[in-house]
Structure 1
Amino acid sequence: MITNHFLGLLMLSILQPINALPVAPGNTVNLLGTSQEKDDGRILQRYKRGWMWNQFFLLEEYTGNDNQYVGKLHSNMDRGDGNVKYILTGEGVGSLFLIDENSGDIHATKRLDREERAIYTLHATVVDKRTNETLEADTEFNIKIHDINDNEPKFSKDLYFASVPEMSDVGTSVIQVTATDADDQTYGNSAKLVYSILQGQPYFSVDSDNGTIRTALPNMDRETKENYQVVIQAKDMAGQMGGLSGTTTVSITLSDENDSPPRFANHTFRLSTLESAEVGAAIGRIKANDADVGRNAEMQYSIVDRDGQDMFTIISDQNTQEGVIRVKKQLDYEKQRTYSFKVEVTNTYLDPRFMYSPNPPFKDDAMVRVTIEDVDEPPVFSRNPYIIEVHEDTAAGSFVGVVSARDPDADNNSVKYSIDRHTDLERLFNIDSVNGTITTLKGLDREMSKWHNISVVATEISNPRQTTRVPVFIKVLDVNDNAPEFAMYYETFVCENVQSGQLIQTISAVDTDEPLVGHKFVFSISSSNPNFTIVDNEDNTARILTRRAGFSRREMNTYLLPVVISDNDYPIQSSTSTLTVNVCACDSRGNMQSCNTEALLSAGLSTGALVAILLCVIILLSKYYYQLHWYRQSTALCRAHKALFKRIGNMVPFGRHPNQSQSTQVIFLSLNTQYPIHVLQSGGNYYGLCWTLPQINILHCPEQVCSHKVRRQHLNPLCYSCDSFFFVCIPFIIILQLKIVECRTTR
């Protein structure tokens, strides 16, 4: 904001019109007056024309050697005594703009380009040099760069591409090309452009104001000339001399219009095909020509005669625009040997100008003649496939069904029939080679196989290479020839303390037959059975219940309960299955503890128990054989020792056997003499001697042969009698086996 003391930041161009020339440096500007006085005394008159007091104007692209003068700042506080200092801040100060702090003159140090920057905003402040007190508050002003015509017009592209439909009317717009000029649009004519065409006449013209290119000639035909190169110029200064200009090239293509009809080069086409051609097979191609391109050249073909429509069809190949003729129905040389029909071609996309014409010119037609060639055809079955049903109880040699085939050729040769044995490996069926009657060679069982799929071959007798195969599906119908039976093996148990009416087993049945209405089984047991009864659940299951309370393993440990199961088909089939019921000891909650002896034995002996028993038997046999051998020598040997005992003195008693009345003594002999010691056994008593190098032999002596006992614990364990071994071995085996049975029962 400018104060009342600040009469104005005096600028050289404040009182200068936009098109005025810069004032020479050194001028004194007075805002309150309308005249300026030169140093030489001349007065320059100026008139206000809507000036903006807060702007400087500066021409761009200054080419002088000195700094370019911008303008002068002046304050009424400046008395001319040199005590006032002008300060300039803002954009470019110090680099682009400099100020004389004493005079307030502003200069530009570099050449400025308006296209880079058009306005600079600066701030001016006036202070007292002595006190540095601000005399004039900070004031903002602009330096606006005036434009000169230093930029030529430029198009956005060097090359444009455009298209216009052929045969377009004069003045049809093709494309608009525009150029831009970097000079000031608001100042003079530096950026005012005018467009003109330098190349492309007389076919095209351009609007001088907006650059729109239009057609200048009527009926331009794409088939005559398709592409045009047009050069457009844009010139500034409103097109006046001295203006700058730029050019661009426009490549204009005439787009196709459907102005050319399709035409057949040949109006008669001859084709041939074998009668064996499959339905859908292509038998030939025909083609029409169209001078147009793209979608306008796309054609569609059609058969217009009934004779051809029934047997053939034609489609268009989108890649080649040909008409592909295909077989629609199976051809038969014997029925018809030639076909003639008309084919019509039209454009797929019609030009609206001709759509409502009474006689559309954009189509053509041609005749097609197809010749059918004969081939030797294989026999043809009357059906394909055959499905035959036969009951499973059919005996060997029974009738199954009949197949028939014929030779479709005009000669109608005879055919013979056979079964491909690769499809009947079990040789269940046979076929009459003349009339095609199929019979059974063996009985059929539906439970073994529900379907038999065989292949029957028909062979032309005059030409065995002509054969035809047909599948024959033989379904075996079910006959109720199987009785129902238990779905699985059932074995259960009943507790000794069971109550009457207790459920002990639920049973179910299966039947390999397949009745039409589904299975329905009836379960029953003898009504006189005092122990068990049965309840049919009516869902092909039944419950076995106890009829009485209390069972005893001692009375009967296993019950075999016969159950009769019947089906509901015809004829009714029934069977008897057996339910095994074991009587077991149970706890108060009904959990089985142990079952009868047979159940225990049925668990079997373990391998370890069998090996232990075998070892015991071997040891027993060896022991008794050893005792028998020494018993024969015991009498004589014991008598010899008895005499020896009498001659040995110094016998020292060491104790008495608790179960014997005789004294037991030990004889100490000379250590230098080695005597064998013989331990004598008489019944359950052991006798013997001990010395330094004992050799112990077990002798079996009659009772009371020897009178000197030796304690059992001093003997070798092999001296133990076998009856002691027996009392240890056998209980161990029994305990081991009981543990095994207990484990199995628990599982």
Structure 2
Amino acid sequence: MSQNELVSVCLLLVLLCSSAESCVQRHVQVRVPQKLQAGYVISKVNLVDCGRHTYLTCSDPDFTVQTDGTIFTSHLTTVPDDGKSFWIWVEDATGEMWKVDVTLSLADQVSQKSSNAVLKRFKRRWRPLPFSVTENDKGPFPKDVELIASDSSVDRTVYYSIRGMGVDTEPENVFQVIPDSGLVRVLKTVDREQYPKFEFMAHVYDKFTKTESDDPLPIIVNVLDLNDNAPEFSDPLLFVVTEQSKQGTYVGKVNATDKDEPNTLHTKIKFILQNYTDLFTIDPSNGVIRTVNKQLDRETQERFFVNIEIRDMDGAMDGLSARGVAIVSLTDINDNPPTFRQSTFKAQVLENQASVLVLRIPVDDKDLKGTPNWNAVYEITKGNESGNFWMTTDPVTNEGLLYVAKPLDREKQEKLNLEVTARNQAPLVSTTGTWQTALVELNVGDVDEGPEFAAPILRLKVKENVPNGTLIGTYTATDPETKSSNGIRYYKIPLSDPGSWIKVEESTGQLKTINTIDRESHLVINNTYNITVKAVDQSQKTGTGTVMILIEDVNDNVPVVPESNRVVCTMDGKRSSTLVDAVDYDQTPYSGPFTFELASGVTGKWKLKNATGTSIILEQAEDMPNGVYQVPLLIKDLQGVGQEQMVSVRVCDCDSDGVCSGQGVSARLGAWGILAMLLSLLLILLLCLLLLFVCTTKGEKLRMTDDDGSGGMLLKSNTEAPGEEVKETPLLITPGSKADGSGTKGGGTLDYQTIRSFRGGYGQQNTIGSQGMYGTGQFGNSFQKYSDMATMETWQTNEVYLDNKLLYFNEEDDRRFAADVLKPYGYEGVGSPAGSVGCCSIISDQDTLDFLDTLGPKFRTLADVCTSKTVRRGQ
């Protein structure tokens, strides 16, 4: 096309554009400095109303326009004094075009030619495009990145600064800006894998006022990726697959990562299999490993070491790569049955033995040891119909162990042939093999055996209560070798017959009763009574058998009432009833249902109703006063056998709980009553122990003299305090006396006088001396004589003296300690006037001594003995 034609087309386009409504302003007029650095932003065409897809071109090569409408210088440009003009062509997606006139004038001059032009004011703005740098750049540094500019630089003198990431925060000192020009520079190498982008803020300031002339602008610097990282395996290369798997079976997936920028060739990885390609294959795009055929046999090779390469750039030769070894292990399946090492096994076993090991049968299995595919299970498939053998498996060696379960009898069978089959715990798969069998030949060895009963258990039926000596059966045995019963003796094992009911005849084996057989005995279980019989041959070999006696019931029991004490409550004046239960220890038809009848004489007072077979309701027929009544009942079993049973019925008033009122209180206070009884018993026990201790304590042995009293004397004393020969406490204080001897009744003083002897009632001499009063006869007169003394010993002293006196009497007579026990005495025809003088024969009131005035013969002897050893003079 010629130049003229091109001009014509352009004019036509201009006319078309002028005829259409423009989406942009038609004129742009900007004041600029005379010298413009490269990248200096002139202005921006407003494309808001032009849609998303627009194409812009500039008519002046000194300037460049970006897709967002920003116009900036492409290199260092000088604006003429009279200004400079050019235009911008804007084309939308439909092909429509608009022309934007751009007029530049110097900042200190205003073109008169454009004074009449229509100017439109736009808001000042920054250049918004992101910057980019390449990672691992080798320099040299610093290196220019981009030029930033603000609209405020059109009419002001400004300078720039940047702050933020990569400038004054971590990582610091990566970028800087030249303040006057706004040129951003990178100062060192950056790593995209560490910092994929940088974001910092740009600020513009008026050089004269030092204030920001525009809002801060966020600057984004993207770090361009280089393929500087080889791919890496992200997971362990360990895989498992079952042996004999079919073609295409999933084995596992190789996972790999690349630190370079995602979704680029730098991170597009290709997977390559380098060996065992006849067994496995790998998907080059996702790393999935699959089997190629069914030739994977664990018994041939258990694991495979597969080399795998991963390469980025989609496998290109200039891409980076890495290699690894994947371990593919084969899991076992039961494709090999156990095999016997020989087809026939021979062994010998003695008869009459049980639970003994006969034979070990070895097998081989190629499957994985210790798994159900290897563990063998043995079965006797032939020859064990009688159950004489059983088999198990040795868990360590996997051998079959053949045991004797029941004793063998050589007399019945000398040889045995068994067929043994070996299986696995798991079924066979992926194989044509089958379970194998082996033959076992056994010889039974002979052993001298004891007698054998024809039947191990003899069952006999016997009615209970048969007469003693009744023959109930015969139980005999034979010798297995001779098949004869000659010379065999029979005995009953005693512990097997706890009731001693059966006798075994030694020579014949006859069984006879020797005691009454009672079916209702606790020794009978389920109507059965067992005894054990032992047979002994001439060589002292023994054999045992069991006799099971089945006891048949007879009607030997009548119905009885186990709980004969019943209660009938009268509540609110109403009559009541009670349930009477009866039992019969016989079995049907000798037990229930029962018939109940009232005996004669009580039919008007009581009545029966609602019989249920084993129980009946006993009800009052008339009002009765509270008390206990004996009600005779005639109870018969199904055969009409029975007798009269006496039922004790208590008629009482009951509370709301149905308990007799008196019994209710006892029940409520039962726990406290029991506790009180226990405490009382404990106190009585302690008291008895105390009395026993007092009565049986060994006293000081005293020698009794029978002198005439010539050595004793009474001493006079006028001192307030008693002498050293006088006791501190009185022996007895008679009624009406005081401790100081000043009582008004019989309360005189008594001086120490010469001790005189006197005779008791039976002619025995008594003596009062300085060491006390001793005697061997009746002390009644003596006690009476000194009962009015004012100063006596205390009761405690009396007790000690009494013990000594009684002890002396006893030792003088028969040299034995006195105790409150029964002793033999000659019977003189009449009872003793004193009665019992034991230490526990009486418990008196100790608060008063009035009883001393009326002592009878029972205590007179004791009172005589308790007279004080010394008598002191009162003041």
- By the TM > 0.5 criterion, same fold? yes
Question: What is residue 113 of structure 1 aligned with on the other side?
Answer: 191
Deviations 1:465-508 (A, max 9, x none): 423142645647353455857954689999xxxx9xx9699695
Describe the superposition over 1:287-324 as per-residue Cα deviations: whole angstroms up to 9, x where unpaired: 33233435655556565657879866666667644344
Could you say which residue in structure 2 is the equivalent of 1:37?
A: 75
- 2:488 counterpart of 1:422: no
Asked if 1:287 corresponds to 2:362, the answer is: yes
Alignment counterpart, residue 148 of structure 1, candidates 211, 220, 226: 226
- CA distance in 2 between partners of 1:209 and 1:483 (Å): 97
* CA–CA separation in structure 1 for the residues paired with 2:357 and 2:227: 74
SS at match of 1:54: coil
* CA pair 177-309 structure 1, distance change in 2 beyond 3 A: farther
Match of 1:382 among 455, 474, 489: 455
Structure 2 distance, partners of 1:67, 1:370, is 101
1:391 to 1:264, Cα distance in 2 relative to 1, 3 A = closer
* Partner SS state of residue 78, structure 1: helix
Give the strand-richer structure, 1 or 2. Answer: 1
Alignment of 1:333 onto 2:440: no
Match of 1:439 in 2: 512
Mark the runs of 5 or more structure 2 residues left unpaired by the alignment: 1-24, 32-36, 42-61, 79-126, 652-659, 663-743, 747-787, 789-848, 855-875
Are residues 1:234 and 2:345 paired?
Answer: no
Following superposition, the deviation at residue 115 of structure 1 comes to 1.0
Kindly provide the amino acid, as one letter, of the partner of residue 470 in structure 2: S
The Cα of 1:351 is off from its aligned counterpart by 4.1
Partner of 2:445: 373
The answer on 1:251 being equivalent to 2:327 is: yes
Residue 58 (structure 1) shift: 0.9
Structure 2: distance between partners of 1:178 and 1:6:
59
* Alpha carbons of structure 1 residues 367 and 94: separation in structure 2 relative to 1, 3 Å: same
Q: Are positions 1:58 and 2:140 aligned together?
A: no
Match of 1:276 in 2: 352
On the 8 A contact 1:62/1:68 being kept in 2, the answer is no
Distance in 2 between residues matched to 1:298 and 1:579, nearest whole Å:
76
The match for 1:464 is 540
Deviation at 1:147, TM superposition (A): 1.4
Q: Residues 477-516 of structure 1 correspond to what in structure 2 (within 5 A)? A: 477-480=553-556, 484=560, 487-488=563-564, 508=580, 513-514=585-586, 516=588
TM-score (norm: length of structure 2): 0.50
Does the 8 Å contact 1:430/1:439 carry over to 2? yes
User: Structure 2 CA distance, aligned partners of 1:144 and 1:288?
Assistant: 73
C-alpha deviation, 1:72, in angstroms = 1.6
**Scaled by the length of structure 1, what TM-score is found?**
0.57
- 1:320-345 deviation per Cα after TM superposition (whole angstroms, max 9, x unaligned): 44344455876432222212355455
Q: Secondary structure at the match of 2:154?
A: coil
| 1:513-544 Cα distance to aligned partner (Å, 9 max, x none) | 536342635443445x8x96442334445446
Q: How far did 1:182 drift? A: 0.6
> What is the root-mean-square deviation of aligned Cα atoms in Å?
5.7
Who is 2:399 aligned against? 322
Paired residues for 1:155-174 under 5 Å? 155-157=233-235, 160-163=237-240
2:267 alignment partner AA? A
Q: Letter of the aligned partner of 1:338 in structure 2?
A: K
Give the CA deviation at 1:132. 7.4
Given candidates 623, 627, 643, the residue that maps to 1:574 is: 643
Number of the residue aligned with 1:94: 168
Which residue does the alignment assign to 1:72? 147
Asked if the contact 1:379–1:460 (Cα under 8 Å) also holds between the matched residues in 2, the reply is no
Change (3 A) 1:524 1:109: same
Alpha-carbon contact 1:405-1:458 (below 8 Å) kept: no
Cα offset, 1:154, TM superposition:
1.5
Distance 1:430 1:127, change over 3 A: same
CA positional deviation for 1:511: 6.3
C-alpha distance in structure 2 between counterparts of 1:366 and 1:13, whole Å? 102
Is the 2:490–2:509 contact (alpha carbons within 8 Å) kept by the matching residues of 1? yes
Contact residue 389 and residue 475 of structure 1 kept, 8 A: yes
1:180 aligns to what? 257
Shift of 1:145: 0.6
Which range moves more in the overlay, 219-228 or 435-444?
A: 219-228
Matched residue type, 1:443 = T
Cα distance change on mapping 1:56 and 1:574 into 2, 3 Å:
same
Q: Secondary structure at the match of 2:411?
A: coil
State the alpha-carbon separation in 2 of the partners of residues 330 and 214 from structure 1. 59
Distance (whole Å) between structure 1 residues aligned to residue 196 and residue 30 of structure 2? 28
Alignment-mate amino acid for residue 641 of structure 2: I
Distance in 2, Cα, partners of 1:13 & 1:154: 46
Query: Retained in 2: the 8 A contact 1:236–1:244?
Result: yes
Contact 2:568 / 2:650 at 8 angstroms: preserved in 1?
Answer: yes
In structure 2, the CA distance between the partners of 1:235 and 1:542, relative to structure 1 (3 Å rule), is closer
Q: What is the CA distance between 1:63 and its match in structure 2?
A: 5.0
Change (3 A) 1:521 1:366: closer
Deviations 1:393-430 (A, max 9, x none): x3322344554545555644454433222344553332
Structure-1 separation of matches of 2:151 and 2:559: 136
Distance 1:265 1:39, change over 3 A: farther
- Give the number of aligned pairs: 544
Q: Is the 8 A contact 1:532 1:544 kept in 2?
A: no
1:574 CA displacement: 2.7
The letter of the residue matching 1:395 is: P
Contact residue 207 and residue 213 of structure 1 kept, 8 A: yes
Counterpart amino acid of 2:197?
Answer: I
> Please, which of 459, 464, 469 is the counterpart of residue 397 of structure 1?
469
Pair 1:117–1:462, CA change in 2 (3 A): farther
* Cα separation, 1, equivalents of 2:167 and 2:140: 20
Amino acid of the residue matched to residue 308 of structure 2?
Answer: I
The 3-state SS of whatever aligns with 1:37 is: coil
Report the Cα distance in structure 2 between the residues aligned to 1:459 and 1:318, rounded to whole angstroms: 43
| Distance (whole Å) between structure 2 residues aligned to residue 519 and residue 403 of structure 1 | 40
The amino acid of 2:75's aligned partner reads: E
Residues 418 and 439, structure 2, Cα contact 8 Å, conserved in 1:
yes
Aligned partner of 1:651 in structure 2 is none
Alignment-derived partner of residue 520 in structure 1:
594
Deviation at 1:460, TM superposition (A): 3.0
Corresponding position of 1:634: none
Aligned-residue sequence identity (percent) comes to 22
Q: Which residue of 2 aligns with 1:614?
A: none
SS at match of 1:77: helix
CA distance in 1, matches of 2:494, 2:342: 57
Which residue is 1:642 aligned to? none
Alpha-carbon distance change, 522 to 106 in structure 1, aligned in 2, over 3 angstroms: same
